[in-house]
Structure 1
């Protein structure tokens, strides 16, 4: 069946996410894969759903989370700090990911492929409620994983980035409270490892 052949292509592409490594380390000292990150973002959505009182299309939210990083099977994972102050690198990343999503869409039947691309673009735009929630959880999970990793895996810029999460969560009190908990945990880790909270968080 032609439609299933396309699905098989995407599934085989997605297998790469199991070995595409992120700049995040596990508490065991092993590097984290993109697939592992995506899984826990989805789990966060499931666990938080009862505490989000607004109307939330859970199916759409989970679809966005599941497909958001699918482009990295082709475009590779680019750490947030690589594009934070580099507009040219950020644009290169955007173009590479758009090309990857176009290729993924082409693997699928017209309807499902178009829906997948539309959901990915909706996540990227971060305008709908579901997209904002998905984006917030994506950012929070990344910091949570950093908190769980050994301090010697942190780059200097990552000590600064813990304070850049608020714009992603301030639209909702539950997500903002979770952010505060994760930031407090990061600060405790920094203090425990001899870093202060003064400007630059220098030792």
Structure 2
């Protein structure tokens, strides 16, 4: 377990593409922390009963593979099938390594939770996945618009596929999307022409 905790420290140093409102890049660990907070906060409002402990476990471990496989932004794999395939290979190898590092029951549980999240196999996994995507957009909304890539302008409006299975998550997505839209409009970026 100590070996995995030392590995997990890398998530404090693994920087994401997202920027904070103070101009510093965000670490994977910071992203995971806020997704966990979001899970705790949204749980009472969901229209379907959820195993919140299971959901939080998935949120906590979903990016653990990036300590070994590093973070690859979604926009890099959107139109690059080969990179997307390589990301899956790298992350699968990393979760298998983690499973083998940990004692049998804990290692297997970690592996199964990660796979459940990746496959969106349960309601808990779908909620965790949606919150992961929504948190990234919240962070973009908080960052200076100069840190946004052009593809991220469009990605502001691409979250429905992750949230539309639940009306509460759709409503939350709409609020986040409205913030992003207002930020783009304030910066003079007209999305109606794109």
Query: Could you tell me how far apart the structure 2 residues matched to 1:163 and 1:152 are?
Result: 18
Aligned-pair distance for 1:111? 1.0
Query: Could you tell me how far apart the structure 2 residues matched to 1:46 and 1:111 are?
Result: 26
The residue aligned with 1:63 is: 57
The residue aligned with 2:144 is: 150
Whether 1:126 and 2:120 are equivalent positions in the alignment is yes
Whether 1:98 and 2:92 are equivalent positions in the alignment is yes
Alignment of 1:1-203 (within 5 A): 7-200=1-194
Aligned-pair distance for 1:199? 3.2
Alpha-carbon contact 2:47-2:168 (below 8 Å) kept:
no
Q: CA RMSD in A?
A: 0.6
Deviation larger for 51-60 or 89-98 = 51-60
Larger Rg: 1
1:70 is paired with a residue whose SS is coil
4+ residue segments displaced more than 6 Å: none
Q: Please list every run of 5 or more consecutive structure 1 residues that lacks an aligned counterpart in the other structure.
A: 1-6
Aligned-pair distance for 1:57? 0.4
Query: Could you tell me how far apart the structure 1 residues matched to 2:102 and 2:185 are?
Result: 50
1:24 is paired with a residue whose SS is strand
Aligned-pair distance for 1:53? 3.1
Kindly tell me the number of residue pairs found equivalent between the two proteins: 194
Aligned-pair distance for 1:127? 2.4
Alpha-carbon contact 2:58-2:125 (below 8 Å) kept:
yes
Alpha-carbon contact 2:11-2:29 (below 8 Å) kept:
yes
Q: Please list every run of 5 or more consecutive structure 2 residues that lacks an aligned counterpart in the other structure.
A: none
Aligned-pair distance for 1:198? 1.1
Aligned-pair distance for 1:107? 0.7
Alpha-carbon contact 2:69-2:91 (below 8 Å) kept:
yes
Query: Could you tell me how far apart the structure 1 residues matched to 2:38 and 2:3 are?
Result: 28
